[in-house]
Amino acid sequence: MAAKENPIPSVWARQRREPDQPALSRAAIVREAIVMLDADGIEALSMRKLGARLNAGATSLYRHVATKDELMELAVDEAFSEIVVPDAGGADWRTAVTGAAESFRATALRHPWLASVLGQAGLAYLGPNLMAYSERIAALFVAAGFPEPERAIETVLSYVIGVSTTEAAWLTTVGRSGETEADFIARLMPAAAQAAAEYDHLAGPYTAAQGIDPVEIRDSKFRYGLDVVLDGLALRLPGA
């Protein structure tokens, strides 16, 4: 007997069995899931808790979303609808890619769970919003003339996702303290400065950072690293 073919484990590869019900639609489920993810993170999200928030039983949810993994795929795709990618025919490629990268980062910081799950979201790239995002990014690099646009895209996204993951984790820690970021840093700075005092290359940056808006520091660090990445990619263009 021939082996039974395994289905693709993705919400985008599964046919929806029932149409949305007016009282409980897939869109409403995903919206509420994102609210919960933004507030409490991935570990706090469960189908049972989500059902309670929506005044619906688990059975009602499963008519629209079969598993938590599918729910995460849908949440990731919904978040990607917020990322703005400039038109390929508009500004020069560096300005356009910078704008797209900054929009990605801003979205990842609004949704602190996003960057950390991108590598674990199954076949999330099949979602319509993520596919549209990928197409627009590809158009930028193709229009710029990169001989291997997919590798250039992967390089930029690896940087943006890596920085956003670290930054989102930091902001989550700050948020749990109940303090503003500036107050949180001010409380930690004396101990950090003291620990770095005997190290020639560490003491200066701690001293220089005091009194500067932490948002300004994070923005500057992100832009510096992105510029370095784009400088390197520019050398790959024909005629560079």
**pLDDT (tens digit, 9 = 90+) per residue, 184-211?**
988 988 888 888 888 888 877 777 777 7
Q: Does residue 122 have a pLDDT over 50?
A: no
Res 56: pLDDT: 85
CA–CA gap between residue 26 and residue 46 (Å, rounded):
16
Going from the C-alpha of 11 to that of each of 21, 46, 117, 124, 153, the distances in angstroms are: 18, 17, 16, 8, 25
For residue 17, how many other CB atoms are within 10 A of its CB?
8
Residues of the chain with CATH 1.10.357.10: 93-178+210-234
> Of 230, 12, 202, which is closest to residue 101 (Cα–Cα)?
230
Amino acid symbol at 108: A
What CATH architecture is 11-80?
Orthogonal Bundle (1.10)
Altogether, the residues listed in the chain come to a count of 240
Q: Considering only CA atoms, which of 88, 75, 50 is closest in space to residue 127?
A: 75
Distances (CA, A) of 229 to 42, 159, 174: 30, 8, 28
pTM of the prediction? 0.85
Instruction: In the chain, list all ranges with CATH 1.10.10.60.
Output: 11-80
Compute the distance between CA of residue 174 and CA of residue 191 in angstroms, rounded to an integer.
17
Q: Which helix (H) or strand (E) holds 212?
A: none
Level-2 CATH architecture, domain 93-178+210-234: Orthogonal Bundle (1.10)
Q: What is the pLDDT of residue 123?
A: 47
Closest CA relative to residue 11, chosen from 89, 64, 48, 85: 64
Q: Chain-wide mean pLDDT for the chain?
A: 87
pLDDT digits (tens, 9 = 90+) for 62-113: 888 888 888 998 999 999 999 999 988 766 999 999 999 999 999 999 999 9
Query: In 3-state terms, what secondary structure has residue 64?
Result: coil
- 50 near 32, Cβ under 8 Å? yes
| 113 half-sphere exposure, CB direction, 13 A CA radius | 22
Amino acid at 144: A
Q: How far apart are CA 197 and CA 103, in angstroms?
A: 37
Residue type, 227: D
| pLDDT exceeds cutoff 80 at 142 | yes
Q: Would you state the pLDDT for residue 169? A: 93
